[in-house]
Amino acid sequence: MQDALEYVNCNLCGDSKTTLLFIKDGYRHVRCDSCGLIYVNPRLKNSKETLDSFYGSTADSEGLIKTLLDRDYSVKRQKIFYAELKKMERYRKLNKVLDIGCSFGGFLNVTKNCGWDAKGIEVVYEVGKYGKELYGLDIFFGTLEEAQLKPSSFDVIRLNNVIEHIHYPAEFLSNVSMLLRKGGLLTVSTTNYDSLSVLICGKEWIYFDGQHHICLFTPATLKKLLDKNGFTTILLNTKGIHVRVKDNVLRNPVKKILFKLSEKVLSQFIPFTKKGHRLRAWAEKR
């Protein structure tokens, strides 16, 4: 495994001095002493095999994929996507949306049905194929660089559960910026390290996966990253609480009920803080 690892400096500020936060499953999670970015160091070298393994990391990977596919196209989730898209309407000038890491294509499906020219990018074929084959969505299989898209050609670019997987997020956002027209909208959604969920669960929080989640953001570091790459943040908020630590916890019916009740109660207070486990930013290209 050592041959597959690489040591890196902070991608946000370039500094090499860090403080060790914790080690989980052999992966060291550190905080940059200069800017506060949290990342895995050393980490697995960037490879398609690592990305593909994300959905195959459970014993029942086919069952997981089917569950997530059904959820993406459920009436409830499609309504959520529609509400999200409706808020983007004022940016509709070129009529083009790009969803990077579009997964099963649920958001793209709504976007297409609303008359947008919608394009998706997905590196994991076994996931993205459903949107392409079942719903006729325009999905490119590969990386953003391999897609070779035209500069300044999109009104809106969406990154949902993507930025935490990226090895060099600053360079990645620089490339994203080139594809967005001036004044266009970038939306980013990721997990929030500075959340009540992390405070409660510590390093056992279920979203800490050093193999795949290699950069962990807080509201402060995400805003810094966006500003560094030519974006002005117009919305930054958090929501939700997720205090589950391991999959086997959910097999106990009593614990499952208690966890869900505690999440439901605590989530009522989260909107008044920046402590939600989901971090969302909307930013305009300067």
Give the least confident one: 7-16, 79-88, 204-213, 218-227: 204-213
Indicate whether 161 pLDDT > 60: yes
Percent residues over pLDDT 70 in the chain: 88
Tell me the pLDDT of the chain averaged across its residues.
Answer: 91
Q: Which pLDDT belongs to residue 275?
A: 94
Confidence band (pLDDT; 50, 70, 90) for 66? confident
Q: Which pLDDT belongs to residue 211?
A: 94
Confidence band (pLDDT; 50, 70, 90) for 256? low
Q: Which pLDDT belongs to residue 167?
A: 96
Indicate whether 263 pLDDT > 80: no
For every residue of the chain, which 3-state class applies, written as one string? CHHHEECCCCCCCCCCCEEEEEEECCEEEEEECCCCCEEECCEECCCHHHHHCCCCCCCCHHHHHHHHHHHHCCHHHHHHHHHHHHHCHHHCCCCEEEEECCCCCHHHHHHHHCCCEEEEEECCHHHHHHHHHHHCCEEEECCHHHHCCCCCCEEEEEEECCHHHCCCHHHHHHHHHHHEEEEEEEEEEEEECCCHHHHHHHHHCCCCCCCCCCEEECHHHHHHHHHHCCEEEEEEEEECCCCCCCHHHHHCHHHHHHHHHHHHHHHCCHHHCCCCCEEEEEEEEC
pLDDT, one tens digit per residue, over 97-142 is 999 999 999 999 999 999 999 999 999 998 999 999 999 999 999 9
Indicate whether 251 pLDDT > 60: no
Q: Which pLDDT belongs to residue 89?
A: 97
Domains by residue range for the chain, with CATH: 47-160 (3.40.50.150)
Q: Which pLDDT belongs to residue 139?
A: 98
Indicate whether 29 pLDDT > 70: yes
Q: Which pLDDT belongs to residue 191?
A: 97
Q: Which pLDDT belongs to residue 265?
A: 78
Q: Which pLDDT belongs to residue 86?
A: 97
pLDDT, one tens digit per residue, over 164-212 is 999 999 999 999 999 999 999 999 999 999 999 999 889 999 899 999 9
Confidence band (pLDDT; 50, 70, 90) for 59? very low
Mean pLDDT of 50-79: 78
Indicate whether 150 pLDDT > 90: yes
Q: Is the pTM of this model over 0.85?
A: yes
Indicate whether 13 pLDDT > 70: yes
Indicate whether 146 pLDDT > 60: yes
Give the least confident one: 85-94, 128-137, 149-158, 253-262: 253-262
Strands 231-239, 215-216: pairing is unpaired
